[in-house]
Amino acid sequence: MKLRRTSRAAVSLGVAALSLFAFTGTAQATADMPYVGYGYPNLPAAVRCAQDFSNLFGGYWPPIIVDGKYGPDTNWAIKQFQSHMVRTGQYNLTVDGVVGKATGSAMLQLAWQAGIRDARYGQCYAALPNTL
């Protein structure tokens, strides 16, 4: 009986440690994430986040397709997002269609304020360039 309790405790401890490492690894931002835009690597996860957040907070309709591919529609949507932020006085962003640290931080802050705190937020926090 003592061996069984010890085994359960060891398994529980191992699962807890694994969970801790798994969650801390997914939500950490990398300091040098590449920008999103023409002339940049455009990692699909980062592009999807930029597309999604531009659709949510860009002040335009209809939304663009979220496919993880950077092209003319994504460039336009990011510019719309940046213009909307400047027009409404929320953020002073350069309107260039590039998601750098300022635009990425604005997207993440707006998502947080809107209550988006799920796995999508963690993935975008890790994928988008930001200063948070």
Average pLDDT over residues 34-42: 96
Which of 21-25, 81-85, 118-122 is the least confident region? 21-25
Q: What is the pTM of this model?
A: 0.77
Given a contact cutoff of 8 angstroms between Cβ atoms, the answer to whether 106 and 85 are in contact is yes
Please report where in the chains the tokens 């085994």 appear, as a residue. Answer: 7
CA distances from 31 to 36, 42, 76, 107, 130 (A): 15, 16, 26, 16, 8
The predicted structure's pLDDT at residue 14: 39
Q: How far is it, in rounded angstroms, from Cα 132 to Cα 105? A: 6
Looking at the chain, the whole-number percentage of residues with pLDDT higher than 70 is: 77
